[in-house]
């Protein structure tokens, strides 16, 4: 086995899970490197929890293979795998103190008292709650309870920690703090984390790579940058951040770029990852993120240019949000541009005609 293969913590190959005749997870394949923080992201019901449960051995696939560190664990139940899972409801034992909660797993394994003490101290340090052993679970804040649940899950030094929306019950500020904490704990412990969330910002904040799911299918698996800048299709583009989607028609190709007609102009763009090279006259959409659209003098000299009329401008502190109607095309969607703003910078007013522009690498075409 090569060195690279050694570092693969998880490999999922063509996994399918059906409930009745509905495929909750449909032909999903991906690989996770040792020590990566992976998020499974998608709307409610897309199959992320089912996929996580299969990784943990709580659910058996109907088809496909799951490997942990190269070993086939597809048919091995949870207790036979070196994985651990944290659920949305933390399920700390309310009648035990923090120490006993954390020690529970090791005690069940018959580990010596001395070893247990050392391990509990180690994980309490890791989650930055040293000295909390004698606290009652009922005396913990939401964030502290969360950390104790993580400490309890890490005490067995699992190869992989599986987390099912563990932050969803926390308020917004605590949630942000805990995202940073999770990331720190993951880095310091070197454990591979698989994290389920339906919150795209949360996934972007914590992940090395993200698997975007919809209707049981993994539409794209990549780094936050790849997914944001090179979304595989319209769903991913819309689900991750805000974007303009403009109806377009293929005119031709130029190297790995595609020329399309958008609002009556020839526009040069990329093709979405995983899309087949398009045929001439194929109809689709181009996606341009709000903040990639330049207007006025900032658009001069850019390869792709349209003209349009400003219909609305909103002040957003660090940026202005312009709504622009491209010229000459009836029933064409309005475009949104987020333009960085600072005091004294001139603004455009509703009714003004402006040039709108972006570079080819800033737009993606999908059928």
Residue 21 interacts with ligand ATP (CB under 6 A)?
A: no
Taking CB under 6 A as the criterion, the residue among 36, 38, 41, 42 binding ligand ATP is: 42
Taking CB under 6 A as the criterion, the residue among 19, 75, 264, 311 binding ligand ATP is: 19
* Residue 307, token pair as written in the block: 């003209």
Taking CB under 6 A as the criterion, the residue among 9, 41, 48, 221 binding ligand ATP is: 48
Distance in Å, CB of 288 to ligand ATP, minimum: 29
Q: Name the pairing type of β-strands 265-271 and 363-366.
A: parallel
Distance in Å, CB of 260 to ligand ATP, minimum: 34
Helix axes 142-154, 98-108, angle to 10 degrees: 20
**Burial of 241 from C-beta contacts in 10 A (0-12 / 13-18 / 19+):** middle
For ligand ATP, give the closer residue by CB, 42 or 231: 42
Question: In this structure, are residues 263 and 330 in contact, taking their beta carbons and an 8 Å threshold?
Answer: no
Residue 247 interacts with ligand ATP (CB under 6 A)?
A: no
Residue 243 interacts with ligand ATP (CB under 6 A)?
A: no
Of residues 203, 131, 220, the one with CA closest to residue 167:
203
Phi then psi for residue 43, to 5 deg, are: -70, 170
Residue 209 interacts with ligand ATP (CB under 6 A)?
A: no
Angstrom distance (rounded) from CA 241 to CA 130: 39
Footprint (CB under 6 A) of ligand ATP, residues 50-109: 50
Of residues 298, 307, 304, the one with CA closest to residue 353:
307
**Can you tell me whether residue 38 is helix, strand or coil?**
strand
Question: In this structure, are residues 366 and 234 in contact, taking their beta carbons and an 8 Å threshold?
Answer: yes
Question: Stretches 4-12, 38-46, 286-294, 312-320: which one binds ligand ATP (CB under 6 A)?
Answer: 38-46
Angstrom distance (rounded) from CA 41 to CA 122: 31
Distance in Å, CB of 299 to ligand ATP, minimum: 40
Binding residues for ligand ATP, rule CB under 6 A, total 11
Distance in Å, CB of 89 to ligand ATP, minimum: 13
Taking CB under 6 A as the criterion, the residue among 46, 162, 218, 324 binding ligand ATP is: 46
Residue 219 interacts with ligand ATP (CB under 6 A)?
A: no
For ligand ATP, give the closer residue by CB, 42 or 143: 42
For ligand ATP, give the closer residue by CB, 53 or 338: 53
* Residue 57, token pair as written in the block: 């051995």
Q: Phi-psi region for residue 277, left (φ > 0), alpha (ψ -120 to 50) or beta?
A: beta
Distance in Å, CB of 167 to ligand ATP, minimum: 13
Provide the H-helix boundaries in 32-169: 48-56, 98-108, 113-126, 142-154
Instruction: Indicate the residue whose CB is closest to ligand ATP.
Output: 49
List interacting residues with ligand ATP (CB under 6 A). 19, 24, 42, 44-50, 198
């Amino acid at each position: 086995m090569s060195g690279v293969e050694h570092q693969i913590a998880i490999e999922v190959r063509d996994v399918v899970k059906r409930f009745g005749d509905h495929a909750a997870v449909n032909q999903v394949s991906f690989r996770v490197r040792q020590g990566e923080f992976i998020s499974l992201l998608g709307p409610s019901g897309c199959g992320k929890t089912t996929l996580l449960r299969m990784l943990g051995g709580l659910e058996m696939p109907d088809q496909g293979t799951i490997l942990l560190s190269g070993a086939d664990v597809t048919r091995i139940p949870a207790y036979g795998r070196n994985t651990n899972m944290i659920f949305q409801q933390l399920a700390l034992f309310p009648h035990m103190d923090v120490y006993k909660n954390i020690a529970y797993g090791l005690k069940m394994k018959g580990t010596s008292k001395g070893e247990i003490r050392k391990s509990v101290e180690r994980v309490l340090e890791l989650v930055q709650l040293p000295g909390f052993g004698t606290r009652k679970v009922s005396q913990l804040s939401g964030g502290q309870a969360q950390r104790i649940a993580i400490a309890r899950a890490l005490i067995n030094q699992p190869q992989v920690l599986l987390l099912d929306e563990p932050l969803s019950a926390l308020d917004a500020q605590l949630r942000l703090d805990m995202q940073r904490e999770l990331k720190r704990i993951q880095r310091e412990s070197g454990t591979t984390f698989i994290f389920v969330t339906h919150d795209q910002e949360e996934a972007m904040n914590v992940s090395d790579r993200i698997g975007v799911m919809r209707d049981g299918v993994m539409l794209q698996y990549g780094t936050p940058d790849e997914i944001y800048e090179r979304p595989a299709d319209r769903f991913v583009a819309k689900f991750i951040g805000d974007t303009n989607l403009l109806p377009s028609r293929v005119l031709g190709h130029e190297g790995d770029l595609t020329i399309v007609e958008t609002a009556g102009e020839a526009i040069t763009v990329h093709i979405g990852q995983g899309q087949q090279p398009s045929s001439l006259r194929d109809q689709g959409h181009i996606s341009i993120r709000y903040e990639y659209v330049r207007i006025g003098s900032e658009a001069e000299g850019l390869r792709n240019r349209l003209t349009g009329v400003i219909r609305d401008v909103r002040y957003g502190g660090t940026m202005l949000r312009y709504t622009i109607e491209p010229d000459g095309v009836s029933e064409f969607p309005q475009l949104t541009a987020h333009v960085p703003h600072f005091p004294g910078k001139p603004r455009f007013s509703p009714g003004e005609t402006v040039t709108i522009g972006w570079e080819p690498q800033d737009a993606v075409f999908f059928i």
